[in-house]
Structure 1
Amino acid sequence: MSNKVYVDVLAEFTTDGILIPRSLRWKDGTVYEIQRVNDMRRATSLKAGGVGMRYTCMIDDRERHLYYEDNNLWFVEGRA
């Protein structure tokens, strides 16, 4: 069963006001660099629930979804 895993994210705003995540810290303290953001769109997490901006990111050469919720928290879809 999947759930939300809240993570700390280092992000920055571009000069045109777009929020871009640069790295995330997993719950065990490991920091992962976000190599590239392939897509950004408002979306619902079908696996974990919740809605917000979904960032499709390359992390460790694998495509992952990172969500920024309306409550200003970041999460990824995890496994229980």
Structure 2
Amino acid sequence: MKKFVQVIAKFEEDGRIIPLQVLWEDGRVFDIDRVLDMRPGVSLKVGGQGIRYTCRIQNKEVCLYYEEPKWFVEGKER
């Protein structure tokens, strides 16, 4: 399922959006250590499409999606 999250991002002069932090609903804040890749992409696990950011967060590779106007990650099924 899509897990919608708040994101702190930087907007570059050329229009690129660079995510900096992910804010979880329970108040935790995760710094994005590095954006490894940024391209149009589709989430095959939960559906949806937009810009897929492959990020390194706490030594883990995480796909973060910007599906205008919202951000989401691929949540675990319950």
Scaled to the shorter chain, the TM-score interval is over 0.9
In 2, Cα distance between equivalents of 1:52 and 1:16: 18
Q: Aligned letter for 2:76?
A: R
Q: TM-score normalized by structure 2? A: 0.93
The structure whose residues are more often strand, as a share, is: 1
Unmatched 5+ residue regions in structure 2?
none
> Among 44, 68, 71, which residue is 2:66 paired with?
68
In 2, Cα distance between equivalents of 1:61 and 1:67: 19
Please provide the CA RMSD for this pair: 0.9
Unmatched 5+ residue regions in structure 1?
none
Q: Aligned letter for 2:72?
A: F
Identity %: 52
Deviates more, 1:14-23 or 1:34-43: 14-23
Equivalenced residue count is 77
Q: TM-score normalized by structure 1? A: 0.91
